[in-house]
Structure 1
């Protein structure tokens, strides 16, 4: 009889698989939405509940999942080993510098939580209807963030949506689910998540009309503009250039791609100087508006401010081991030391638990508050505190190498297309600007995109192979097929 090609291969799902995928969504929600609840009055510790929830969920997934794909098992194993190396380096740095155990835990969560979540995603066999449900829920979360940000920009000025306390600008309040009542970089995080989602939505949801997918991209770009998240355009543009470069078989061909890039930059520079277009004002703020000031030369004010960490941190080295393992977790310019442990509320909570604070962190703030730090008040682009310098300062080149090794596993084993490369490379550029690489809401969103793309690509190959096998069987079993000769 003639075999029919199945339109969709049915995959039996165990109850445990469904439970684990739902746990992943719950865990992601504890990272994605708490700022929205605290914005409307929920207790602020809710923002950090995910530091407990995510490790518990990862443990449950690893102990209950029953994946059989050897490649998938190998990836999970490599990620666990890489995370273990990061744990070992962080612990060694803490022991050398007498950092508190709570510093170790918080530093690992700020830096390693996305990798933990990715380990759990790779340990769950997301297939068939289960994969589709997960994708729809995740896309719904991201779309809600975009819509809410656009609504905030309209409703806050007319008083329908409450504005945050503390005299924040409207642009700071246009932060979707990441708005904070006390002020934060939520606008940057929200805009970044919206742009990543818009690109993913355009490339993945092919059944949605093209005009609607383009509209989502335009909406995300508009959100980035009205929220004054100009650095997001910069980091994504550089990330795109790096993706182009990684795809070149002959590196010299990069010059062919540089021609349109140089042309775009030339037009952009001309517009900054020769036009008065209002939407370019944020970029004039640190370019042509201060052309008469010495900003970007070797001894420029911006250059000296941005590179201050490489002078401040070594000044506090007291042992040769500091050159290898840094000054200790949370002791320099990471989000933990530079921001989290400076908050009096968190100090009152964590210092009794053994948290340690280092004078190197305060040295950064003394610089920022001094006349030499005036540029930071205009734009975070000039911040002397950013993830890469903080990671080097806290954990030294050994810890930095451990983090890069863990990231390389993701690059080699999880990245399945240019979108995944773009996520990683543009995120790395963010780490050169500010501490966005340590923002849980943004980084777990990136981890979710990476895991989803891996599962989607695996599903695509599996369906293609199943359909190919069905076609082959159909041709073999057809009554008019020629006899097989052995």
Structure 2
């Protein structure tokens, strides 16, 4: 009787922790949808307070004894501690506000925090299925809403396209924003990751349904004009292939088909009038007469602006090591959040650096016309922002934290693809710092880790011989 009571309490604790994690995830996944329909803008910051609290509660409640889970959690905690130390040092050197430290730490570290909590949960069996069902439900809702928007927005049955925005900007599922944002890119990325996860994991679902989900995600990406997502995903897939090549000679097996695909794509751009290729044609064959991509091309100079702007504000050799301070250059915080929420954040102690404004002067000036037509050429993007804010030391700290996930949590090629394609997106714009997208990735990584662990445990149980006690009892 007493053993039954213990088991009941343990299950109750598991459900409570996983439910809290889902609530924390929801606070980052749905706030844009709420503000789109009139919710107060500060609701976008709620998850910065909720997620850390949820993670702490989950860690305090967990009764996990598995050494691997404990080791991974502690390694990630140490990595986050190193990142926070670098941010604090950078802030002290550059007189950045305490709020800058907190917000930048959450933008960069929140996915790792959530991943710690998920890995530390004893998810298995029905608890794992329940947790997965909620994550799948959230992502499916985003995809269905985006498809509905693509149908209802053009006929005026869905609110949007305000303030000079294009309809495609508002085909963004739960990430749409009336004030203008990269919501369509975020939504498409989440939908494609979800469709790929569903296709690979839900093997019992009929193949045609899984393929239909993939087609729906590709449709959303196409109608929302999120072409850079295809570029990032293709590059991510190619990097995964290269990481799996054991013999260098085999690289030719992949390079040759790749060259053929690129040649076919270029031929289609140059010699066909296929309408879906028009967004790509605009900046390739459509502008062949302009100098865009050479060493002195307009696109090259614009995209690499950070390497001239940021060092121009260095006042000490320490800036090379620790940057200009969290939120002071080209990160999501410095480039957008502090600019859009200045009235709310400055009275709370946030600080703004002139380097961030220098980027906007370039973007809004004559030299920034390319970035206003396509984010592919945006001079503010995550990787250069981390370097600008935190310097070489801070960038190394973030890469070390990412390497822990690569080494300890990536259990298959899908996990590698999540990380590598996201890293590519980090070279386009600050999409790598979008909470809704990054927490979704953290959930998929955590799910795959638990699913693979459960599969190994099941296989081990199936291959194990029967207990000696049962054998003796049969002879007895």
Name the TM-score class by shorter chain: over 0.9
CA contact (8 A) 1:164 1:180 kept: no
Are the counterparts in 2 of residues 33 and 177 from structure 1 also a CA contact under 8 Å? yes
1:275-319 CA-to-partner distances (Å, cap 9, x unmatched) read 000000010111111000000000000000000100110010000
Q: How many pairs were matched up?
A: 469
**Does residue 155 in structure 1 map to residue 152 in structure 2?**
yes
1:119-268 to structure 2, matched below 5 A, reads 119-268=116-265
SS at match of 2:39: coil
1:194 deviation in Å? Answer: 0.4
Instruction: Give distance in 2, aligned partners of 1:370 and 1:464.
Output: 61
- Segments of 5+ residues of structure 1 without an aligned counterpart are 1-9, 481-486
| Separation (CA, whole Å) in 2 of partners of 1:474 and 1:249 | 46
> Is the counterpart of residue 57 in structure 1 residue 62 in structure 2?
no
| Residue in structure 2 matched with residue 456 of structure 1 by the alignment | 451
Compute the displacement of 1:165 (Å).
2.5
Match of 2:328 in 1: 331
Which residue matches 2:3?
none
Q: Which residues in structure 2 correspond to 1:51-450 (within 5 Å)?
A: 51-343=48-340, 346-450=341-445
Residues in 2 aligned to 1:334 and 1:163: alpha-carbon distance in whole angstroms: 27
Q: Pick 1 or 2: higher relative contact order, CA cutoff 8 A, min separation 6.
A: 1
Tell me the SS of whatever aligns to 2:464: helix
CA 1:255–1:46 in structure 2 vs 1: closer, same or farther (change >3 Å)? same
Partner Cα distance (2:228, 2:283) in 1: 12
Q: Contact 1:11/1:127 (CA < 8 Å) preserved in 2?
A: no
Q: Deviations over 1:360-399 (max 9, x none)?
A: 1111111112211110011000000000001000000000
Using the alignment, how far apart are the partners of 2:132 and 2:468 within structure 1? 32
What is the CA-CA distance between 1:251 and the residue it aligns to? 2.6
Distance 1:477 1:177 in 2: 60
1:39 and 1:164 in contact (8 A); partners too: no
Whole-angstrom CA distance in 2 between matches of 1:97 and 1:452: 40
Q: For 1:233 and 1:119, locate their aligned partners in 2 and report how far apart those are by CA, in whole Å.
A: 30
Any idea what SS the aligned residue of 1:149 has? helix
Give the aligned partner of residue 6 of structure 1.
none
Distance in 2 of aligned mates of 1:245 and 1:423: 15
- TM-fit CA distance, 1:252: 3.1
Distance, in Å, in 1 between the alignment partners of 2:450 and 2:117 is 13
Deviation at 1:441, TM superposition (A): 0.4
Report the CA distance between 1:123 and its aligned residue.
1.2
Q: CA deviation at 1:158?
A: 1.8
**What TM-score does the superposition give when structure 1 sets the normalisation length?**
0.94
Query: What residue in structure 1 maps to residue 38 of structure 2?
Result: 41
Shift of 1:255: 1.5
CA–CA separation in structure 1 for the residues paired with 2:472 and 2:208: 44
Distance apart, 1:464 and its partner CA: 1.3
Distance 1:477 1:267, change over 3 A: farther
**Closer, same or farther: CA 321–465 of 1 in aligned 2, 3 Å:** same
**Match of 1:4?**
none
Question: Is the Cα contact below 8 Å between 2:161 and 2:167 reproduced in 1?
Answer: no
Distance 1:34 1:96, change over 3 A: same
What SS does structure 1 have at the residue aligned with 2:258? Answer: helix
Separation (CA, whole Å) in 2 of partners of 1:330 and 1:212: 44
Distance 1:188 1:367 in 2: 23
- Of 458-467 and 199-208, deviating more is 458-467
Q: 1:26 aligned to 2:23? A: yes
Distance 1:353 1:117 in 2: 26
Question: Hey, what's the Cα distance between the residues in 2 that align with 1:166 and 1:394?
Answer: 31
Give SS of 1:442's match.
helix
Q: Counterparts of 1:413 and 1:11 in 2: how far apart (Å)?
A: 31
CA shift, 1:166, in A, is 1.4
**Cα distance between partner residues in 1 of 2:357 and 2:73:** 39
| 1:49 aligned counterpart, secondary structure | helix
Given that residues 21 and 124 in structure 1 are in contact (C-alpha distance below 8 angstroms), is that contact kept between their aligned partners in structure 2? yes
Measured in 2, the distance between the counterparts of 1:248 and 1:302 equals 33
- Are residues 473 and 269 of structure 1, via their aligned partners in 2, closer, same or farther at CA, if it must alter by over 3 Å? farther
**2:9 is aligned with 1:16:** no
CA positional deviation for 1:262 = 0.8
Deviations along 1:23-65, whole A, 9 cap, x unmatched? Answer: 1111111111111111111111111100000011011111111
